[in-house]
Structure 1
Amino acid sequence: MGKIEPKQLKVGDRLETFSKPVTEPMMVEFERVVWDRGKNSHSDPEAAKADGLSRTIASGQNQMAFMHELLEKNFGDAWVYGGKISIRYIRPVYAHDVLTPNAVVTDVIEEDGRSRVLLDVWCENQDGNKTSIGTASAGQPSAKRSWTASEPERIAS
């Protein structure tokens, strides 16, 4: 049986998405692992209050992780190797919010002899309020996921 290729996207298609909660431990751990800046408004309630906030807020990098996961799941290697994104954060994300990353195809163009998918992207919270907006692009979706355990030769190198 031959390898199944993913669906080729066209204008108007929406990417398959997911929703996940943002938790206080997730926010603290994300800050510690990604960029340990010590106590700040993303990881410490007292620091947030000192900054004039009522509570801690998730970092923009935290939202970007949700968006990256969406694009990686939908595009595979076409996202990991050649994807582009530009995001603007427009609303705070708090612990206990549930984020859903979204993307819709706005155009499919030829670039360097290959098909490239252009997208409007955004995250929204459980109330349907957008928390970030932007654009992204990648080649047409690939079935290849070179970072998975099913391809140990890439992982070992």
Structure 2
Amino acid sequence: MVENALTTGAEFRLAPRPMTRERMRWYVDAQPTIAADDGRVHTQEPTIHDDDEYARKQGLPGIIADGMVSTNWILGLLVDVYGAQVAGRCRLRTKYIAPIYEDQIVVACARVTDVAEADGRTACALDVWCEDDTGAKLTVGDATVYV
């Protein structure tokens, strides 16, 4: 666990990273590939997450990332700060408030808002979000980590 992980007001960030077309594709192909379970990559019909022409027909300038990418990056930040056990001792809620485009820079962030004892364990409440390189929020939410 990071040293100040239980300090109200502490803020944590992952390093900025671009939302690449390849990362976006992994999420699109994951569900049909897992469902098939035959060792091959399976694709689906065009979506706003993998087909520029389809996305433009929906009024977008190009493909956008599936929101779960940013949620998973936030969870990754919580694991980095609180340890791998956070996956089984955490509540995480997110809301996607702006699309994330190809090659857009994304930073996962968290801020401790409260630390309290609950049921014999420490509950750490956090505001969580992803922002772009200008500081504009793309995904927002909250988390409670039990340590």
Please, what TM-score do these two structures have when normalized by structure 1?
0.79
Is 1:29–2:37 an aligned residue pair?
no
Q: Is the 8 A contact 1:32 1:38 kept in 2?
A: no
Alignment correspondent of 1:95:
102
Question: Is the alpha carbon distance of 1:37 and 1:85 closer, same or farther for their aligned partners in structure 2, counting shifts above 3 Å?
Answer: farther
Alignment correspondent of 1:64:
71
Is 1:119–2:123 an aligned residue pair?
no
Alignment correspondent of 1:74:
81
Alignment correspondent of 1:50:
57
Q: 2:117 aligns with which of 107, 110, 114?
A: 110
Cα RMSD of the aligned pairs, angstroms, is 1.7
Q: Is the 8 A contact 1:89 1:132 kept in 2?
A: yes
How much has 1:37 moved relative to structure 2?
4.3
Work out the percentage of aligned pairs sharing the same amino acid: 29
Unaligned runs of 5+ in 1: 141-157
How much has 1:34 moved relative to structure 2?
4.4
Please, what TM-score do these two structures have when normalized by structure 2?
0.84
CA–CA distance in structure 2, aligned partners of residues 41 and 16 of structure 1? 28
The amino acid that maps onto 1:46 is E
Q: Is the 8 A contact 2:13 2:108 kept in 1?
A: no
The amino acid that maps onto 2:108 is P
How much has 1:95 moved relative to structure 2?
0.6
Alignment correspondent of 2:17:
20
How much has 1:54 moved relative to structure 2?
1.4
